Amino acid sequence: MNYIDSYNFSNKRALIRVDFNVPLNQQFEITDDTRIRAALPTIKKILVDGGSVILMSHLGRPKTGPEDKFSLRHLRGHLSQAIGVDVKFADDCIGASAKSLSAALQPGEVLLLENLRFYPEETKGDTHFASELAQLGDVYVNDAFGTAHRAHASTAVIAQFFQDKVAGYVIQAELDNAKKVLELSERPFTAIMGGAKISDKIQVIENLLARVDNLIIGGGMSYTFFKAMGGQIGNSLVEEDKLDLARALIKKAKELNVNLLLPKDSKIANDFNNDAEQKIADNYAIPDGWMGLDIGPEAIHVFSETIAASRTVLWNGPMGVFEMSNFAEGTIKIAQAVVSSTQKGGYSLIGGGDSAAAINSLGFGDQVSYVSTGGGALLEYMEGKTLPGIAALD
């Protein structure tokens, strides 16, 4: 694979697949521009070289073609300010307007294309659609790690139409940091897995069991483990069809001498509501009519001690329903423990999605080693799968 620093973009039109799937409020203002800021070094390297930039991305999940709320034109002003140039906008991503605007680009100029997913051909990986996109640039740059696990037209299929294709700084950093965890980890190595369902994390858990010293399980998925071990979990979230799987993972952890840490206690509530009645309960004895919505104080203490003593930490998934302030303490305390481990010289990789949102919203993003921009893509990479967007660059 060729990386961006190996290529001189002078007088070249660089067609860059970026991940600008950013959250917008009702006034179409960007509420979190993490993904845009992540792409800036790649964009600026090309402009400094004397090239021009054509940006293509998706936004949201439009179902029936163009929808104004998913138009990338809403990003134009923010992008112009972030890059420092007046970003041009094409009201289509293929066709006459996109072709004429891209052909007229001068060195130092930037063009933003309309939402790729206004065409169903994008997610179908349509070859003809990919070839139409490819006509807009001289060199292809993929810097969208967040969609690298999708075999879409702009992320994988398009690469076959370019002799010159390189990975941008985001993809390079994502791969470098994932390899640090999977191949170059210092001991003790602790993986923290949270979130709602075992089924979402099963393959990555199985792959990590052969590599980690400690595996911390939190969030809604932990209650499936407790029920599998004979615990009373009340109305807590459970995957009834995954009880045998939970038992098998417990057995495998023992066989591999991995310290599997499940939360001893939970903050429970009598309703899925921030203002519901709350109390602390042992996870083997949650009363009927009550549900676990966050890890409890004893779990926080044990988990934090383990994390703080680790040299490598991988975190993917919150410890509770952190969107509700009364059930955010577990996630906050775990984030603080990860920061503490990092400050002592440890290495920490925060998986994308909810974990990245949590760490950034708490203001800890610059106090950990790396915050991934790709939730699903990072998980699939951790599972040992080949990512189509990465393979296409080889």
Catalytic (active-site) positions: 35, 197, 353, 376
When computed from its CA atoms, the radius of gyration of the chain, rounded to whole angstroms, is 23
Selection from 176, 166, 179 nearest residue 394 by Cα = 166
The H or E element containing residue 286 is: strand 285-286
What 3-state class would DSSP assign to 39?
A: helix
Angle between helical axes of 34-49 and 76-83 (0-180°, round to 10) = 50
Selection from 318, 300, 382, 310 nearest residue 348 by Cα = 310
In the beta sheet, which residues pair with residue 139? 14
In eight-state DSSP terms, residue 75 is G
DSSP string, 178-222: HHHHHTSPPSSEEEEE-SS-STTTHHHHHHHHTT-SEEEE-STTH
Q: Is 41 left (phi over 0), alpha (psi -120 to 50) or beta?
A: alpha
Distance set, CA 230 to CA 226, 227, 245, 307 (Å): 6, 5, 14, 28
Q: How many helices (H) and strands (E) does the chain have?
A: 14, 17
Q: Do residues 223 and 350 lie in contact, with contact meaning Cβ atoms separated by under 8 Å?
A: no
CA distance 5 to 155: 20
Alpha helices (runs of H) in 311-353, residue ranges in sequence order: 329-343
